[in-house]
Structure 1
Amino acid sequence: MSTTVEEHAATVAALLAPALAAVADPSRAEMVPLTPAGPAHGRVLAADVRSPLPVPPFANSQMDGYAVRSADIAAATGSRPVRLPIGRARAAGDAADVHELGTATPVMTGAAIPAGADAVVQIEAADPPRFLGIGAAGGDPSAGVAFSTPVAPGTFIREAGSDVTAGQLLLTAGTRLGPAQLATLAAVGLTTARVRPRLRVLLVSTGHELRAPGETLGSGQIHDANTASLAASLIDTGAEVACAAAPDDAEALLAVIAAHPEADLLITTGGVSAGAFEVVRDALASRGVSFGHVAMQPGGPQGAGMLRRDELAPLPVVAFPGNPVSALLSFEMFLRPPLRRAAGLRDQREVRWLPLAHAIESPQGKHQIRRGMLRDDGSVSVGAPGSHLLHDYARSTVLVHVPAGIAALPAGAEVEVWRIDE
């Protein structure tokens, strides 16, 4: 008797719950460097992070212009502008130094405001509207610069600590480190972060017929696509992945598993159906892993359970079929949601209800998942259902769901659609 998609998803979620909870255990937290393109990207903070310093660390100019004391040009009008001598220019990175009262100090964007100045007049509002004696603009700075309107204190000045104050909570535990988060940590000078450990997944593709990409194929052999697709899918959830292959030999498969005692989760592909050489079923069925059929097409044969191991804690196992589309859809339905949820990521695809561009048929007793393409008119065109059509999957933009109990749908019927081109 088949189980439903929902029932098997619940089984897998319950199976993974202890391992995913352990990933959040503070005692397993790791310190990683915050180097550009380094190992921190995509990791999840295990502890709150507070800023060791204010950002910006000093008052600086928001504009290219002149730093002034607002009182010096308080009487400026269009008919009676105030002209000030020009002081020494400050570029970003120069020391702040001191602003000479009664002068206008040229400051570039990001430059420290010299002590004594309390406002910046943007260069476009000055007369002339360019820097005299600096760069290609030329001009004689001895003539000074005129201002025709007063300026309020604080104008175009970024005050010290206006973005972040010293000691302020920057990021909370559970935050995933993306580009903006990493930039925030870099801006306060941090070089390391304490992060949650990643789920350690052992991914084993089984089958005597499999050869790695690049190897020469003999008669009856195919290249292994499952390792590529599932490893990338797992990395997308924040997992750490070790990849291995095993032939159709139970002892060889058990040896591969034994060689990775650190794994938190075992995922296998192939060897779970009703054939004569079902290596995963043969090796693991007597050790705590159950095998059966889910009312889903493609991806019906499935396995799940806690693998009993000598002198080691039981290992959660999720066993997928070997056909590439079946394996990838099985991951989509049963593993992607709980793994992404545990990593603090959005666990559900964008869901829409769209009309079919053409009629389709479906096995009435199964939840069918078809690959499809969004059309310019807002309808969805559905591809063939074959579990070997990986290239068709690669070109698809959506997954189309036809629930169990439906044998056919006409053109124009609305179907549940998951976006996979995000």
Structure 2
Amino acid sequence: MRELEAHVARALALVAPLPGEAHSLASALGLTAARDHVARHASPPFDNSAMDGYAVRASDVQGATHASPVVLPVAGETAAGAPPGVVRAGHAWRIMTGAPMPDGADAVVPVESTDGGLTEAAVTASVDEGRHVRRAGEDARPGDVIVHAGRRFTAARLGALAAVGVETVDAVRTPRVAVIATGDELVDVGDDLASGQIHDSNSVLLAGLLREAGAKPIVMARVGDRPAELLARMTAVDADLVVTTGGVSVGAFDVVKEALAARGVEFVRVAMQPGKPQGLGTVDGTPTVCLPGNPVSVLVSFAAIVAPMLRRLRGDGDGGLDWGGRATETAVVGDGWAVPPGRRQFMPVRFTDVGTVVPATLGGSGSHLIAGLAAAEALADVPAGTERVAPGDTVSLMRWSG
């Protein structure tokens, strides 16, 4: 069997960051920077007051105290957005937070350290030169990198770019991912089930997972257990990545394996549970991932294999075995469970009232237990070689909710 890390490395080798495209700040949230984005102008763009108070020359108020205030005539006032004034020696200038510093002033006395006078101000505390003054460019200067290539455009980063005059950004194009579910047993959700039929939950599951990972799903019509039908569907794909479900094991009707093995897709057993049977390769130049058909296997395979590929397509780093790029965490186990020999296990778990984790279903990590995922809040990542997870053990988690 192939180790999971080796399989992920092969998957990542199939994809590269997509090209950038121009976006307004309003449309870039959640996308990834395709290049470094630099400041157009300084932040702050001019020296301004950090306090409501009086702009002064610091030397004019040295020694001021409550017992012995320094009284200065008020020469004028400036609010935020107004042009700067001019302060002569021995005078004060009433100023509001964010207003430009008047020429000649080198400090601001907070209004709390004065009597708040309008024509003259009694200053009751001295200030040093530069006190309560925001200097032009102290936050950023023109040409400074504000958002580096490969970083996600968060609200804070977009706000920072707006503050330094950046109007549009270059963001990596959103990956388009085609989803093809296979199997004669599948019917639409909501249809009555005949004997042997099941609802197509994988298409719904994958479409949601792709949207959560920042990709655009293209859910294609299902394919029955006929290789020619799958090949015809594949020729109609216009996507950056294709993900199929079902038909990858050793059964008599494994349509995906039968159709694609001769076209360069490699079908292997990966040392993970659930999700052991996997397919990986390119079809007509399009990277293709072939996942098992059981829903829990689909979810685990997406977390371990597809999500890192999406992060690379998005220019969001090489990824790793973490859910959608989110940091892993650890938790203490409440109820233990068995681990299959020789395979890395991903157990759906939920949190208890006391903060421990327990299996989300009575059936453990069975790959068919899709309903149990409604209660699951994370996947416990158990290393290969572990014989059993016992109460009190600490496990690594990949959380996708809560």
What is the TM-score normalised by the length of structure 2?
0.83
CA contact (8 A) 1:4 1:296 kept: no
Matches for 1:22-421 after TM superposition, within 5 Å: 23=17, 28-35=19-26, 38=27, 40-74=28-62, 76-99=64-87, 102-128=90-116, 141-142=118-119, 144-210=120-186, 216-220=190-194, 222-248=198-224, 249-261=226-238, 263-307=239-283, 309=284, 314-340=285-311, 343-344=316-317, 347-349=320-322, 350=327, 356-364=333-341, 366-375=343-352, 379-383=356-360, 384-403=364-383, 408-412=388-392, 414=393, 416-421=395-400
Counterpart AA for 2:311: R
Deviation for aligned residue 1:401: 4.1
**Matched residues in 1 for 2:368 and 2:113: separation?**
68
**Matched residues in 1 for 2:336 and 2:105: separation?**
74
Deviation for aligned residue 1:164: 1.0
Counterpart AA for 2:157: Q
Q: Secondary structure at the match of 2:334?
A: coil
CA contact (8 A) 2:107 2:132 kept: yes
CA contact (8 A) 1:92 1:108 kept: yes
CA contact (8 A) 2:279 2:289 kept: yes
Q: Secondary structure at the match of 1:419?
A: strand
Q: Deviations over 1:338-359 (max 9, x none)?
A: 5436522753435566554234
* Alpha carbons of structure 1 residues 188 and 325: separation in structure 2 relative to 1, 3 Å: same
Query: Quick one: percent identity of the two aligned structures?
Result: 39
Counterpart AA for 2:235: A
* Alpha carbons of structure 1 residues 345 and 159: separation in structure 2 relative to 1, 3 Å: farther
CA contact (8 A) 1:211 1:224 kept: yes
Deviation for aligned residue 1:325: 1.2
CA contact (8 A) 1:12 1:304 kept: no
* Alpha carbons of structure 1 residues 279 and 172: separation in structure 2 relative to 1, 3 Å: same
Deviation for aligned residue 1:416: 3.4
**Matched residues in 2 for 1:164 and 1:83: separation?**
37
Deviation for aligned residue 1:51: 1.8
CA contact (8 A) 2:11 2:305 kept: no
Gaps of 5+ in 2: none
RMSD: 3.1
**Matched residues in 2 for 1:212 and 1:92: separation?**
61
CA contact (8 A) 2:12 2:318 kept: no
Counterpart AA for 1:398: A
Counterpart AA for 2:398: R
Q: Secondary structure at the match of 1:19?
A: coil
What is the TM-score normalised by the length of structure 1?
0.80
**Matched residues in 2 for 1:118 and 1:405: separation?**
68
Counterpart AA for 2:317: G
* Alpha carbons of structure 1 residues 70 and 19: separation in structure 2 relative to 1, 3 Å: same
Deviation for aligned residue 1:98: 3.3
CA contact (8 A) 1:61 1:157 kept: yes
CA contact (8 A) 1:370 1:382 kept: yes
* Alpha carbons of structure 1 residues 171 and 417: separation in structure 2 relative to 1, 3 Å: closer
**Matched residues in 2 for 1:399 and 1:227: separation?**
21
**Matched residues in 1 for 2:331 and 2:150: separation?**
35
CA contact (8 A) 2:308 2:318 kept: no
* Alpha carbons of structure 1 residues 106 and 232: separation in structure 2 relative to 1, 3 Å: farther
